Structure 1
Amino acid sequence: MVTKHIAPTLDDVARAAGVSRSTASRAINGGERVSPEAQQAVDAAIVRLGYAPNRAARSLVTRRTDSIALVVPEPDARILTDPFLAGVVRGVSEGLGGTDLQLVLLLARPGERPGHIARYLNSGHVDGVIIASHHKDDRLEPELRAGSLPGVFVGRPFDSAGLHYVDVDNAAGARVATQRLVDRGCRHVATLTGPQDMTAALDRLDGWRQTLTRAGLPTDAVAHGDFTVQGGAAAMAQVLAEHPDVDGVFAASDLMATGALQVLREQGRRVPEDVAVVGFDALGAELTTPRLTTVLQPVVEMVAAATSTLLDMLAGEVVYPEPRIFVPRLVEGDSA
């Protein structure tokens, strides 16, 4: 009787070397963040087991695809124009450096039925997923919670029970931004919100409202946008038409603030003399005229934390459910 030889897997190498799967992967692929002792142990285990990093063979044995998905439920044009989304893609790609994992980018398509991406994720095409810029009706939250696919959200889910995520404290950031306008002496502060089916937009709206209520100022100047330059311009025009006495604006993203600055300039409003403006993101704020005062959202650190968490989950390490929340801070410019 001939005994069929089963090729050793990455898990076998990690076990023999006494290291985690992610450490073994980085060592095999020449990555950084591997101690000399761990590298030596992995090298010795490879020789002893006769391990060959053949992707196809390894996939058949381990049922792994050696790929993870980055899901951005937005049209592909947004990736090219939104610095936050571009930063997410770049951050995940860099976070996978030193591993043998490939990145699969999944974007929303016009007219796509809800649940299409969720069905793809649960069909065994990838080993894990990072989800950014998700909307309430994407059905990604319940599908990920019900399935067995490891995943991490960049941004708070609407129902976070059983889900891992990283985020910035959006409400606190909005409070900082709005307080900056109040301290300047603004007495009728408007907000240009993001989409109301996203938690970041809702939290920033709440932070704006909390600050003005505490200061005894009106909270009637609200216009809803979509985190784009065009959306910010339309929302700013709406605010000026409905509340011409507005003297301060908190825009829920720097792109929307850019659109607001364009409209204010077209309508002869000086910034910050007539209307002060504060944005949110600190991504490209130095390119506006005047230079935008904004709230820093540490997207690089956030994405790095999400990627690290997912790699730990894939390696079978213990990952606690508490979210990682980053503290925002004001970045002074010339617009407020």
Structure 2
Amino acid sequence: METNGRRRRATVKDVALEAGVSRGTVSRVLNGQPYVSDEARAAIDAAIEKVGFVPNRAARSLVVQSSQAIGLIIHEPHSLFVEDPNIASILLGANSALSDADYQMASLIADSPRDIERLSKFLGAGLIDGVIVVSARVGDPITRAVSQLQLPAAFVGHPRDIGDAAYVAIDNRAAAREITTRLAGTGRSKIGMIAAALDRDSGSDRLAGFVDALGNRFDPQLVERVPLYSFSDGQDGMRALLARCPDIDGVFASSDAVAAGAMDVLQSAGRRIPEDVGIVGFDDSSWALRCDPPLSTVHQPAGELGRAAAESVLRQIRGEEPDAHSRVLACPVVWRESA
């Protein structure tokens, strides 16, 4: 269909004319409603193909009260969104599950208070059917907004204040305890930690696991707290630990990116890894294999976390109870040459 040399978008009217039915009948088929004969459905399907009709999803949502879209909210700074391969894996895993169900994913980044205010308004506008929330903190205003709107939701991670909301997570504390115990088993006597992101459950649980593993050997002076799971925070944390304890011989970094930054500082200071200092990370991300030597770490199934969270939201949209879909996934230690 041409209009002044430009192709005109096909409409419901075009489909109805081609199929020889009313526009109301076409609308019932498009919206999945009953009371349409098999013959009419077949004619409408053939007409849609012939005229090249593409349904207007926004208009359809007014009828069926569904946007067919799920929001993925990532409460992290923009810089970390680009740097952290786990976020990308969570995103791809979620998108894969949503694509299988013919849902669209809307990626939403909450970096600043202004972002959070904007997102809270967006959630209330009815433009998405549910949300996946990544990196929520305790007391997070996004968590409050999701709760108040009663949106189908699943959290990646398990903040302590989400009530009975669905979540998918790993046991950060047990995994941190296991890899720290293994690091200590290599004969290290002064083991420190670069503890990142203590304002969320993953960071605080990894620190708790580190303390568990060392028991009465734990020295609070050998813990350096940094804000983010980032390479630069790993550098800053390692410099601080070296300044306080020049003879440190073991380090648990609470993410692979943090560990890579710490290794950069150690090697620049002339410390051999693992001969002088053994170092371990957490995530088993692409950072781990870019390190030299390759990094011992904990495998976090980021893609599977994203997929499981998306599947949980979809089940809730279908009317199933959300607390039946909380899951804790396995996260084994992967031991390499860095320790």
TM-score w.r.t. structure 1 length? 0.83
**Equivalent of 2:304 in 301, 305, 308:** 301
Q: Provide the residue aligned with 2:285 in structure 1.
A: 283
**Aligned 8 A contact 2:139 2:161 in 1:** no
Instruction: Report the CA distance between 1:174 and its aligned residue.
Output: 0.4
Unpaired runs of 5+ in structure 2? 1-22, 49-53
When residues 148 and 217 of structure 1 are mapped into structure 2, their CA distance, relative to the original with a 3 A threshold, is closer
Unpaired runs of 5+ in structure 1? 17-43
**Structure 2 counterpart of 1:222, one-letter code:** V
Instruction: Figure out how many residues of one structure are paired with residues of the other and give that number.
Output: 305
- Write the mapping of 1:157-306 to structure 2, written as runs, cut at 5 A: 157-213=159-215, 216-225=217-226, 226-284=228-286, 285-306=288-309
Q: C-alpha deviations, 1:231-266, integer Å up to 9, x for none?
A: 011001101111222111000000000000000001
In 2, Cα distance between the equivalents of 1:188 and 1:78? 30
1:47 aligns with 2:41: yes
**Equivalent of 1:73 in 62, 72, 75:** 75
**Aligned 8 A contact 1:188 1:217 in 2:** no
In 2, Cα distance between the equivalents of 1:57 and 1:127? 15
Displaced runs of 4 or more, over 4 A: 3-6, 8-13, 48-53
Percent identity over the alignment is 33
When residues 45 and 271 of structure 1 are mapped into structure 2, their CA distance, relative to the original with a 3 A threshold, is farther
**Aligned 8 A contact 2:90 2:304 in 1:** no
**Structure 2 counterpart of 1:208, one-letter code:** F
Structure (1/2) with the larger helix percentage = 2
Instruction: Report the CA distance between 1:96 and its aligned residue.
Output: 1.7
In 2, Cα distance between the equivalents of 1:72 and 1:167? 15
**Structure 2 counterpart of 1:220, one-letter code:** Q
In 2, Cα distance between the equivalents of 1:183 and 1:46? 73
When residues 59 and 297 of structure 1 are mapped into structure 2, their CA distance, relative to the original with a 3 A threshold, is same
Q: Provide the residue aligned with 2:335 in structure 1.
A: 332
When residues 274 and 124 of structure 1 are mapped into structure 2, their CA distance, relative to the original with a 3 A threshold, is same
**Aligned 8 A contact 2:29 2:41 in 1:** no
Instruction: Report the CA distance between 1:79 and its aligned residue.
Output: 2.1
**Structure 2 counterpart of 1:7, one-letter code:** R
Q: C-alpha deviations, 1:4-46, integer Å up to 9, x for none?
A: 7662565647xx9xxxxxxxxxxxxxxxxxxxxxxxxxxx799
Q: C-alpha deviations, 1:194-224, integer Å up to 9, x for none?
A: 12211100000000001111x6443431111
**Equivalent of 1:314 in 302, 317, 322:** 317
Q: Provide the residue aligned with 1:37 in structure 2.
A: none
In 1, Cα distance between the equivalents of 2:31 and 2:190? 61
Q: C-alpha deviations, 1:39-84, integer Å up to 9, x for none?
A: xxxxx79938968883244212112112111111223332221101
Instruction: Report the CA distance between 1:90 and its aligned residue.
Output: 1.5
Instruction: Report the CA distance between 1:181 and its aligned residue.
Output: 1.1
Q: C-alpha deviations, 1:150-206, integer Å up to 9, x for none?
A: 111111123131211100110011011101111111121111111221110000000
**Equivalent of 1:156 in 149, 155, 158:** 158
When residues 273 and 316 of structure 1 are mapped into structure 2, their CA distance, relative to the original with a 3 A threshold, is same
When residues 161 and 321 of structure 1 are mapped into structure 2, their CA distance, relative to the original with a 3 A threshold, is farther
Over aligned residues, Cα RMSD in angstroms? 2.6
Q: C-alpha deviations, 1:260-309, integer Å up to 9, x for none?
A: 00000011111111110000000011111011000101111111111111
Q: C-alpha deviations, 1:98-153, integer Å up to 9, x for none?
A: 33321111112445264432232122121111111223353122222222211111
**Aligned 8 A contact 1:189 1:219 in 2:** no
In 1, Cα distance between the equivalents of 2:199 and 2:337? 31
TM-score w.r.t. structure 2 length? 0.82
Q: Provide the residue aligned with 2:102 in structure 1.
A: 100
Q: Which has the larger radius of gyration?
A: 2
